[in-house]
Structure 1
Amino acid sequence: MEANPHAALDLLKKAHPPETASAIFTEKVLRKPLHLRPTSPDPNRQDARAHRRLQRLRKKEKAKRRQKPKPLSAKEKRITGIYEISKGSQKYDIYVPLYRMWLDYIWEILGMVKGKQTWVTAQAAGAKLASADFHGAKLMVVRSKCVSTVGLRGIVVRDTKFTFQIINAKNELKTIPKTHTIFRFQIPQPDGVEKILDSEKISDISEDEMGPNTLIFELHGSSFEHRAIDRATKKFKQRNMTEL
């Protein structure tokens, strides 16, 4: 007596030839492995919780890379000596080109053009000179409560809020306080000054040797206690000097 055929085999015979239906039935149904327990998960595949954690870490690292580095504090700057001038750099000849650049800079501010007579008045040039940068300027101390600084002159290598640091022809770095000190600086005319500036004795040039119509200014340090970066945007007004 023939056994009852399998229901799956009857369905396969309706869709496929008998040989093909028997092969599919034998491979897919009779020989199909039965798992007693679930197979182990793929070790390379992360679960949802680990995936979310990884995404949060990546997002945090990306935001950290976009942040600007924290600036150094005043204490850290003093410790590292970031603004200190090393002994090897305290040479007058190194800063002579800086003085020449400052002359070009101040000529441009005052509108002094070579081959053209320019009239400079206190009303027109006062505010411009007050907000100018004096790194590279050649200053001389003419009056001060600190008598030992009178007569010192040199090129400004650092302009802080309360001091000028200058280096003189003897390769000496001097720190001069601005308070109760009057500085003098001169601006020669652009005509005929190149020959003087190219000379080796630029540190010994007197006021008379700078050429005719040399402009001489005096700077009152007590009213100039501002950093160079702050003076660039500060508006100065004319007022009486009571201490004089």
Structure 2
Amino acid sequence: MATPPREHIAESLLKRAHSPDAAATILREKVKQRHLLLRPTSPDPSLNARSKRQYERLQKSKAERKSKKPKPLSAKRKRALCIYEIPKEQQKYAIYEPIHSMWCAYMREILGLSEGKRVYVDANSAGPMLVSADYHGALVEVTRSRCVSRVGLKGIVVKDTKFTFEVVTAQNELKIVPKEHTVFRFEVPFEQQEGGEDARKPLVFEIHGSQFENRAPDRANKKVKPHSDPDL
């Protein structure tokens, strides 16, 4: 007398949570008919001497390639090599004047002032644009600061770090201005019309450096909510 087939252990477990028909369907699709994926393996070095030599050559070549790959410089090494320092011969105001002209065109574009599309901007529309804008090339002037000696300092931004603006003044001097407790002013002139200069006055903006204490790439994705500044 033939013995009846034993119930699959997975089917018995599935019947505890599902109906018999659902358990049979899950068992058939997920267990019995499931494809078994096989990955080809490397030859076992212990099988023969030839496979062992090939394995050793492969490991040696990997180690050589890894040793030849240059390691990235550490922050300490970068400071020692002065990678991010602006050379003395490049601290010239005339070098960065064309960059300032490009920055003015860039600001007119993001504010919607190019091609005469708009002639008026308000805080609600311009605020998010100014927060996420790039200030490399901006001609900024310090209007208020807890350090009185910095008031009136004016120059083109050549480096926008997390806590400072590095500017080159008209006297070809590089100045590092902390953003904290400092208010900066800059102007965005309108695009000159053909046949003469534009009689409209440039737009004047003031930004609070304490709200810009972020790196330029991080500031582009940061959402800033309006709030009062207790330090002013």
Q: TM-score, normalised by structure 1?
A: 0.68
From 51, 56, 60, the counterpart of 2:54: 51
Determine which of 192, 207, 230 is the counterpart of 2:218.
230
Mapping of 1:160-239 within 5 angstroms? 160-192=161-193, 211-239=199-227
Secondary structure of the corresponding residue to residue 167 of structure 2: strand
- Hey, what's the Cα distance between the residues in 1 that align with 2:123 and 2:201? 16
Q: 1:150 to 1:119 in 2, by over 3 A?
A: same
Provide closer, same or farther for how the CA distance between residues 161 and 114 of structure 1 changes in structure 2, counting only shifts above 3 A. Answer: same
Equivalent-residue separation in structure 2 for 1:146 and 1:212 (angstroms): 34
Q: Is 1:87 matched up with 2:88?
A: yes
How much has 1:81 moved relative to structure 2? 0.6
Which whole-Å CA distance do the structure 1 matches of 2:134 and 2:123 have between them? 18
Change (3 A) 1:117 1:52: closer
- Cα deviation for residue 239 of structure 1 reads 1.1
How far apart are 1:192 and its partner, in Å?
A: 4.4
Work out the CA distance in 2 between the residues paired with 1:183 and 1:163: 12
| 2:142–2:185 contact (8 Å) kept in structure 1 | yes
Secondary structure at the residue paired with 1:130? helix
Distance 1:79 1:115, change over 3 A: same
* Matched pairs, number: 184
**CA displacement at 1:49 relative to structure 2:** 3.0
Query: Is residue 114–residue 191 contact of structure 1 (8 Å, CA) maintained in 2?
Result: no
Question: RMSD over aligned Cα, in angstroms?
Answer: 2.6
> In the aligned structure 2, how far is the partner of 1:194 from the partner of 1:86?
40
Distance 1:104 1:81 in 2: 32
2:112 and 2:118 in contact (8 A); partners too: no
Report the Cα distance in structure 1 between the residues aligned to 2:195 and 2:107, rounded to whole angstroms.
15
The DSSP-based 3-state class of the residue aligned with 1:218 is strand
Are 2:131 and 1:130 equivalent residues in the alignment? yes
Q: Using the TM superposition, give the Cα deviation of residue 50 of structure 1 relative to its aligned residue in structure 2, in angstroms.
A: 2.6
Query: 8 Å contact 1:115–1:191 — kept in the other structure?
Result: no
* Letter matched to residue 231 of structure 1: R
| Matching of residue 154 in structure 1 with residue 149 in structure 2 | no
Moved over 6 A (4+): 193-196
Q: Which runs of 5+ in 1 are unaligned?
A: 1-45, 197-209
Q: Matched residues in 2 for 1:227 and 1:193: separation?
A: 38
Bigger Rg, which one: 1
Q: 1:99 corresponds to which letter in structure 2?
A: H
Q: Distance in 1 between matches of 2:194 and 2:96?
A: 18
TM-score, normalised via structure 2 length: 0.72
2:110 corresponds to: 109
Same amino acid, percent of matched pairs = 50
